[in-house]
């Protein structure tokens, strides 16, 4: 049986991960978060040693907040594997990236991303954005099992 958590944050930047966690705390959003520091770690946390194309997940977050520019396995490749697997394709994935490249945006939506948000530079706005992401995907959204 899969472990259920609220948010899997896939973020290689320690500063950005700390900002995300601080924003949740500051905005008083009680949402358990696990962090993966690269794409390979994210896939391992979700699938264990199983094949990402067919394995039943061992971790089932309510939402995966995914950076795109990751070491080892890119965020786009993580998204591709998640959406290709019949057991994980319905897990919501929200990209939170500094990339404003049209090709990244287009490819993510073609792969089935649920949301694509560009990281703001303003910390106050970033906090509000994180709160909005958490409230919507963790508290308001209803996803199939």
Q: Which residues contact 144 (CB under 8 A, 6 or more apart)?
A: 90
Question: pLDDT digit string (tens) for 92-128?
Answer: 999 999 889 999 999 999 999 999 999 988 888 988 8
Domains of the chain and any CATH numbers: 3-138 (3.40.50.2300)
pLDDT, residue 115, reads 95
Q: Name the percent of the chain in helix, strand, coil, to the closest 5.
A: 40, 20, 40
Q: 89 and 121 in contact (C-beta within 8 Å)?
A: no
pLDDT, residue 1, reads 61
For the chain, state the CA radius of gyration. Answer: 14
Low-confidence residues of the chain: pLDDT under 70: 1-2, 145
Q: 11 and 17 in contact (C-beta within 8 Å)?
A: yes
């Amino acid at each position: 049986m899969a472990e259920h958590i609220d948010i899997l944050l896939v973020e290689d930047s320690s500063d950005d991960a700390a900002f995300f966690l601080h924003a949740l705390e500051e905005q008083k959003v009680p949402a358990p978060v696990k962090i993966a520091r690269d794409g390979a770690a994210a896939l391992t946390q979700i699938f264990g040693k199983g094949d990402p194309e067919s394995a039943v997940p061992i971790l089932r977050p309510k939402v995966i907040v995914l950076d795109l520019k990751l070491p080892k396995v890119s965020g786009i490749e993580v998204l591709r594997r998640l959406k290709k697997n019949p057991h994980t394709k319905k897990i919501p994935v929200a990209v939170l990236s500094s990339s404003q490249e049209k090709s990244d945006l287009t490819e993510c939506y073609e792969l089935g991303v649920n949301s694509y948000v560009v990281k703001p530079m303003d910390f106050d706005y970033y906090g509000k954005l994180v709160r909005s992401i958490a409230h919507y995907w963790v508290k308001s959204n209803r996803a199939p099992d």
